Structure 1
Amino acid sequence: MHDVPMGEILKKLRELNAERVLIQTPEGLKSEAQVLADFLEENGIYAIISGDVNYGACDPADTEAKRLGCDALIHLGHSYMALHLEIPTIFVPAFAKVDVVPAIEQNIDEIKKLGRRIALVTTTQHIHQLERARAFLEGNGFEVLIGKGDSRVSWPGQVLGCNFSTAKVDADGVLFIGAGYFHPTGVAMTVKKPTLAVNPYSGDAVWMDREAERLIRKRWAQIAKAIDAQRFGVITSTKKGQLRLSEAKRMVKLLREHGKYAKLIAMNHVNYFALEGFDFDAYVVVACPRVPVDDYESWRKPVLTPREVEILLGLHNEYEFDEIVGVERGTDEPLGLSLKGPVT
């Protein structure tokens, strides 16, 4: 379960004079969304729950909320991201109710293999315990670095599936606290340093280097598979936090300069099944970088990232993960539960 500050949400909605809201949530927080909707309706606010799949703070349903006649959107489970939004949006991080220190203590011998100077990162769900984790590690002789990251993240030490800027510090290795392989694999692929993932729920510790190497080998295979491709579909997403139109246009221009046929395609949900009718030899995804990396087996034709296109064209020979970057942060202050209205 997760902590959802319902009283604070209600207070902010009343400040907005909101009478109808849309609640958007990832899969793991559907039950919390339902409880929140009940709470809001008990307090006089009509609540609608979005049934669509949500991929992160990069994918707010503010347009859908406006169409539904809502006065505000509650984006549950993710931290604030600076986007051009159509209605006031409350980003509500949901913090996990699990103590991360016991799992760290259980795996202290494995953590020592990272070296003395380590970078510490986690996801939104555990960010509220990062300082406790740092204090415990420093008490065990480690020098712990928590990177500030760029404007795409809300807190120092936070990583997203598309942005690992907080892990790019001068450390011997990286300790990731959280569940699953999704985030720590991206960390390992990006920083190219020993990366250990400690799961605070199970207590397991997994080295991610081998998983990262396996994925990178598969990416080189995708590049090789596209070596004879002449016709490229360059895909940009219309999701607000994934829209990289200038980069997509650059890819089209670059491919054409190298004698390739290239067309720009815009999609909301990027998936191969919707592309079956097109006559392309390969695709370039200039949206969420995890689509080509994690979902390539669902694509019948080669699917590349912008960096992989540059490798294909002979402009680079070293593999780099395709992050979506922000600008350098100017403050250490966490944004927490925050309100972002329309940008004009």
Structure 2
Amino acid sequence: MWDLETERVISEIKRNNAKRILFQAPEGLKLSVEQEIDKIKKYLEEDDEYKNADADLELILWGESCFGACDLCDIDVKSLDVDLIIHYGHEELPYAKPEIPTVFIHAYYKPDGENLELIMKDIKKILNEYGDNILIATTIQFKKMLKEYNPAVILGCRANVGEETAKNMGNILFVGTGRFHPLMLAYKFKKPVNIYNPVTGELSKITDDEIKKFIKKRIGAISKLLLNPPKKIGVVLSTKKGQCRINIFNNMLSLLKENNIEYIPIVLNNISPNYLIYNVDAYIICACPRIVLDDYLNYKKPLITPKEFEMYVKKDFEYEFDEILFDDFI
């Protein structure tokens, strides 16, 4: 189902003369990558260039999280003397450069001929319904399949599809799995998004009502702060390379000082309810926006984005979606 580019991986291992190789993959690909490791190891052990090599060949599977190309493990494994990292399922982010040589394998979706025909037929039907005034957006896994449509490819937690294009288009079609990315498009551009899942064939939609409910809910969270001004706020930063928005973190600290609000800076790798246990009135999450948007119900204290805290300070109720940008990093 997913193209793991075995030959390319082997070629990159040989080109880098790597002996200690670490494989990193998101949850949905971990079992497939385990099989890949067995296959690649067997090939390399039978290869003349490797079986007589001085160093022992070691292929290691990263068992921790891999939420995206923001969640690199290069710093974590530096002490293991890893020569090369094979990272599956994502595109390298320009603001999260690995310090160990890393090969990014996109894991393109690879349906068989019959399923591909059905998928393209479904997409053409949707496009015929909406005409030319539609923007097609997707994630890297489906870019190759949609090449004839030249889709906008979303990288990371950013609605990087071209602001003017998205605003001028009457409709947006997201082709992919999950709802976070289409929700991000809908909330940022405040317009409905059609969703086509090529794996299941399901067609769904994020409606105007859903967008309004979301904005109302987030405005409600800000209003509660205005009704009960916070005495102390936790400012949370992740050490994950593509989530370590240090400029945003520093800006929030400055804003809190200017407004005479007590605060505690908190630095974590994985942000979860188990770690945010402090005596504060709310947390500003300076890491991935989806922690606030997807997981806020799991936390005992209110979570707000940096944009929402700025709205609270300015008493500005024109909702602005928080997304990761280049300028967030040093």
TM-score by structure 2 length? 0.86
Displacement of 1:113 in angstroms is 6.0
SS at match of 1:219: helix
1:121–1:176 contact (8 Å) kept in structure 2: yes
CA distance 1:161–1:29, change in 2 (3 Å): same
- Please tell me whether the aligned partners of residues 65 and 72 of structure 1 are also in contact (alpha carbons under 8 angstroms): no
Partner of 1:219: 218
| Alignment RMSD (CA, Å) | 2.1
Q: Which residue of 1 aligns with 2:18?
A: 18
Q: Which runs of 5+ in 2 are unaligned?
A: 46-56
Q: Secondary structure at the match of 2:77?
A: helix
- Hey, what's the Cα distance between the residues in 2 that align with 1:274 and 1:251? 20
The 2-side partners of 1:100 and 1:175 are apart by: 18
Match of 2:154 among 135, 153, 159: 159
Q: Which runs of 4+ in 1 moved over 6 A?
A: none
CA positional deviation for 1:203: 2.1
Counting matched residue pairs gives 305
- Written as runs of structure 1 = structure 2, the 5 A alignment for 1:183-194 is 183-194=181-192
The letter for the 2-side match of 1:21 is I
Aligned-pair CA distance for 1:253: 1.0
Q: Report the Cα offset of residue 54 of structure 1.
A: 1.0
What's the counterpart of residue 318 of structure 1? 318
What is the CA-CA distance between 1:272 and the residue it aligns to? 2.5
* 1:142-164 deviations in Å (ceiling 9; x for gaps): xxxx5xxxxxxxxx611145111
Change (3 A) 1:311 1:100: farther
Task: Name the counterpart of 1:254.
Answer: 255
Unaligned runs of 5+ in 1: 135-145, 147-155, 328-344
Give the match for residue 181 of structure 1: 179
Separation of aligned partners in 2, 1:218 and 1:37: 45
C-alpha separation in 2, matches of 1:101 and 1:218:
41
CA distance, structure 2, for counterparts of residue 255 and residue 176 of structure 1: 38
Which of residues 169, 187, 192 in structure 2 aligns to 1:171?
169
Give, in angstroms, the shift of residue 86 of structure 1.
2.4
1:266 — aligned with what? 267
| Structure 2: distance between partners of 1:267 and 1:297 | 20
Distance 1:247 1:59 in 2: 18
Change (3 A) 1:211 1:46: farther
Q: Percent identity, aligned pairs only? A: 34
Written as runs of structure 1 = structure 2, the 5 A alignment for 1:57-206 is 57-82=69-94, 83-98=96-111, 102-103=118-119, 105-106=121-122, 111=127, 114=130, 116-132=132-148, 134=149, 157-160=152-155, 162-166=157-161, 168=163, 169=165, 170-206=168-204
Say if 1:199 and 1:97 are closer, same or farther in 2 by CA, change over 3 A: same
Q: By how many angstroms is 1:218 displaced?
A: 2.3
3-state SS in 2 of match to 1:275:
coil
Once the 2 structures are TM-superposed, how far is the Cα of residue 109 of structure 1 from its aligned partner?
Answer: 6.1
Opposite residue 257 of structure 1, the aligned amino acid is: E
1:93-140 deviations in whole A, cap 9, x for unaligned? Answer: 1011235663463366655665631111101110112223x2xxxxxx
Rounded Cα–Cα distance in structure 1 between residues aligned with 2:240 and 2:22: 17
Work out the CA distance in 1 between the residues paired with 2:275 and 2:87: 27
**Preserved contact between residue 119 and residue 167 of structure 1 (Cα < 8 Å):** no
| Structure possessing the higher relative contact order (Cα contacts under 8 Å, 6 or more residues apart) | 1
The structure whose residues are more often helix, as a share, is 2
**One-letter code aligned to 1:69:** D
Do the aligned residues in 2 keep the contact of 1:185 with 1:211 (CA within 8 Å)? no
Equivalent residue for 1:239?
Answer: 240
